[in-house]
């Protein structure tokens, strides 16, 4: 019995070490050829439906966001604030920020009626591994509000846009 316990103990102690030795090392980062500067991702079917909302009709909303340049500044501001935000910086630490900025700009442009195509993954797939909580989404919305405010987007117009994003909550918040 004692011998059994000792063997069991040794096996338990050694197992993690052995397992670590046997574990395959993480795959080396593969850069995307389609989007220089981004990490390659597993292939998926692309669709504007993945943007998670129907676009506004006409271009008034896109213009209120100051077009491509304005949306670019808002997304850059949103990402910069979120990376520096102690509440949610952990979620962004492992993200490919280059790809995130590009796909967010596409998504915002598409939803705002700017005529862009969205090439990112759908909201559920994009957030599946993040483990975001409701408070994380709240923090992200606050950062987006700040970025829109900085761009001079009127508050009522901000809310029209947020109303398109808000229903994505069940796909974004996974725990």
Residue whose CB is less far from another protein, 84 or 163 = 163
Closest distance to another protein from the beta carbon of 29 (Å) = 29
Residue whose CB is less far from another protein, 102 or 149 = 149
CB 39 within 8 A of CB 32: yes
Closest distance to another protein from the beta carbon of 137 (Å) = 8
The phi, psi pair for 122, rounded to 5°, reads -70, 165
Helix, strand, coil in percent for the chain, rounding step 5: 60, 0, 35
Closest distance to another protein from the beta carbon of 69 (Å) = 24
Residue ranges that bind another protein, judged by CB under 8 A:
1-2, 4-6, 8-9, 12, 133-136, 138-139, 141-142, 145, 149, 155-156, 159-160, 162-164, 166-167, 169, 173, 175
Distances (CA, A) of 92 to 54, 78, 101, 145: 26, 12, 12, 18
């Amino acid at each position: 019995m004692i011998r059994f316990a000792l063997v069991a103990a040794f096996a338990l102690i050694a197992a993690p070490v052995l397992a670590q030795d046997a574990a395959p090392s993480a795959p080396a980062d593969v850069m995307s050829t389609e989007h220089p500067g981004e990490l390659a991702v597993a292939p998926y079917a692309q669709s504007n439906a993945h943007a998670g909302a129907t676009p506004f009709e006409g271009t008034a909303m896109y213009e209120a966001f100051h077009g491509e340049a304005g949306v670019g500044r808002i997304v850059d501001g949103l990402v910069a604030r979120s990376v520096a935000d102690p509440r949610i910086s952990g979620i962004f630490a492992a993200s490919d920020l280059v790809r995130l900025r590009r796909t967010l700009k596409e998504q915002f442009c598409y939803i705002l009626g700017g005529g862009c195509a969205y090439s990112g993954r759908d909201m559920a797939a994009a957030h599946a591994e993040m483990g975001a909580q409701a408070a994380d989404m709240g923090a992200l919305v606050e950062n987006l509000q700040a970025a829109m405010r900085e761009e001079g987007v009127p508050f009522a117009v901000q809310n029209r846009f947020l109303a398109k994003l808000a229903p994505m909550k069940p796909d974004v918040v996974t725990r």
